[in-house]
Amino acid sequence: MRANTMAAMILAGGRGSRLHELTKKVAKPAVHFGGKYRIIDFPLSNCANSGVSTVGVLTQYESVLLNAYVAKDQFWGLDVNDGGVYVLTPRETDERGFEVYRGTADAITQNIDFLDSIDPEYVLILSGDHIYKMNYDKMLAYHNQMKADATIAVLQVPLKEASRFGIMNCDKNDMVEEFVEKPAHPKSNLASMGIYIFNYKTLRKYLLADDKNEKSDHDFGKDIIPAYLKDKRRLAAYRFNGYWKDVGTIDSLWESNMDLLKNDDQLDLGNKSWKIYTEDVNALPQYIGDDAKIENSYITQGAVVLGEVKNSVIGTNCIIAKGAKVIDSVIQPGAKIGEGAKITRSIIADDVEVAPGAVCGSAKSEHIDLFAKKYVE
């Protein structure tokens, strides 16, 4: 791929309210995953591995930590002469009444001058809060093969769950004929992944027209895609068959962590051919005590395990004290589990201290419990 053929724009500004206290002070894409990673590492690493060297990250709510983090583009090998990672925040202007981004499309519209300065042939729109690996260069090749004006990545989901997604109804050649946002009675199970490739010059015209429409939600799914379809633009569906997870809830974040422990782990963080890059934390090697018991678990560097860990993910610099039991749980970086404490089907947030003998979660609970107070008694 030649330089600046395609620029990526990562939408990383959502509130993430369904993650509750995990996103009270931290943007959702900055939440930890898999012991040492952050969610934003996945789209950024996909860009680096796909040869997309110019990446804009559009931030908004609780973005201080995220802004500082993504500005270190060397983490992902994106500190190159003809590219880099650019932190793009909402523009507070008198004309807009000091508004933040009004929707996904508006977020791109507010940064048109950034894209114009790059002058890409294509623009890749991504979400900053999904866990997956994807070669965007292959998607671009498909986009060109289909002679498309826009290409939308889709994933087959169970038909009974299709009403939760934006659904693509396509012809036999996978050209999109209809897009329906969360249909009550879906006609297909091809769900939008929120990953788009657009021919930039065409998209630019639609964004500027949408910006002037006072009735618009300024959203790709609700406004831009329907406008393309109305004008008979060529929209192609790109079928993705790999692992993908929207980790927008406590349960889904826990499930995605647990997926790492399965024998058929599709994400495969150890695959060196498609590495997920992250901050290289300055931590000591992990320490496993003489009486420790570990079964089917991820133990990250800097972790000290003196108790029992079963089917769990233990983050960087965590301490599992003597006699403590951690079962089917996610312990985020810096957390400390006191002596004799029992953690079951729970997420323990960053830097939380669980008191000795405390009981968190239950094997009988239908949902995953989150413990985010600094000290859990």
Q: Contact, 78 vs 47, CB < 8 A?
A: yes
Q: Tell me: the pLDDT tens digits for 105-147? A: 999 999 999 999 999 999 999 998 899 999 999 999 999 999 9
What beta strand segments (E) does 164-213 contain? 166-170, 176-181, 190-199
Query: Is residue 131 left, alpha or beta, with left meaning phi > 0 and alpha meaning psi from -120 to 50?
Result: beta
Q: Are 316 and 281 in contact (CB under 8 A)?
A: yes
3-state SS assignment for residue 238: strand
Does pLDDT of 1 surpass 50?
no
Closest alpha carbon to 298 in 339, 328, 277: 328
CA atoms within 13 A on the CB side of 219: 9
Where residue 87 falls among pLDDT bands split at 50, 70, 90?
A: confident
More confident: 321 or 3: 321
Instruction: Give residue-wise pLDDT tens across range 269-286.
Output: 989 899 999 988 888 999
Structure-derived torsion over alpha carbons of residues 44, 45, 48, 54, reported in degrees to the nearest 10: 0
CB atoms near residue 369 (< 10 Å): 17
Q: Kindly indicate the confidence band of residue 98, based on its pLDDT and cuts at 50, 70 and 90.
A: very low
| pTM recorded for the entire structure | 0.92
Three-state secondary structure call for residue 227: helix
Instruction: Flag the least confident range among 10-24, 40-54, 190-204, 215-229.
Output: 10-24
**3-state class (DSSP) for residue 273:** helix
User: Which residues lie below 8 Å from residue 274, measured CB to CB, with a gap of 6+?
Assistant: 49, 133, 135
- The band of 377, judged by pLDDT with boundaries at 50, 70 and 90, is confident
Segment 139-188, tens digit of pLDDT: 999 999 999 999 999 999 999 889 888 999 999 999 999 999 889 999 99
